[in-house]
Amino acid sequence: MNRILNVITYVLAAIYFLVDAVFMAVAKPISNWFANHLALRKLRAWIRSLPPYPSLALFSVPVIILEPVKPVAAYLAATGQFLSSIATLITGELLKLVLVERLFSLTRDKLMKIPAFAWGYEKFRRAKAWLEATAAWQTMRSLSRSARDYVKRVKATFAGLRTDRA
């Protein structure tokens, strides 16, 4: 029984982190756009001025507030409200990841001064590197690139047809 629970736990954890990884691929460009287009200099300066532990507290706020979005989305799906469930999950996850990514980029150096955080971040980086080195990840990246290239070719074809008609 214990062995089955361990397998279930690992599978659920893998799904959880996979969902976060997928959303992070979308959240990173959004976060970069916000960094380049929103002039919040005073807020950035204040965040950068924080010592390590207050930086950690601030870094955890979006996670604490927005992490319950996943169970809410699951509840909505279980009650048959699939579109609301998907919208809630996507909005909450993107918002959480964009905020976390921006805060991390502003406070990374301070957070790395906290030994436990630096240790956990190093473990995360190693796990991510291992995951990205797996054949399954490489296959999915290749398929993703192929799909993206196909969509670009289709768009270019349609754009060419539009200019021919005009």
DSSP calls for 127-149: HHHHHHHSHHHHHHHHHHHHHHH
Given this model, what pLDDT does residue 52 score? 95
Given this model, what pLDDT does residue 55 score? 93
Given this model, what pLDDT does residue 75 score? 92
Output the six-digit token pair for 152.
Answer: 């670009």
Where are the chain's structural domains?
2-114
Given this model, what pLDDT does residue 17 score? 66
- Tell whether the torsion through CA atoms of 34, 25, 101 and 98 is positive or negative: positive
| Residues 85, 74 contacting (CB under 8 angstroms) | yes
| Residues 106, 56 contacting (CB under 8 angstroms) | no
Is the overall model pTM greater than 0.85, yes or no?
A: no
Given this model, what pLDDT does residue 14 score? 66
One digit per residue, pLDDT tens: the chain, 166 residues? 777 777 776 666 666 666 666 666 667 777 777 777 676 778 888 999 999 999 999 988 998 998 899 899 999 999 999 899 999 988 888 888 888 888 998 899 999 999 999 999 999 899 888 877 887 777 877 877 887 788 888 888 877 766 656 5
> What region does 81 belong to: left with phi over 0, alpha with psi -120 to 50, or beta?
beta
35: Cβ–Cβ under 8 A, 6 or more apart, which residues?
102, 105
Output the six-digit token pair for 148.
Answer: 């993206």
| Residues 20, 69 contacting (CB under 8 angstroms) | no
96: Cβ–Cβ under 8 A, 6 or more apart, which residues?
62, 63, 66, 67, 69
Output the six-digit token pair for 43.
Answer: 């807020």
Given this model, what pLDDT does residue 10 score? 66
Q: Calculate Rg over the CA atoms of the chain.
A: 20
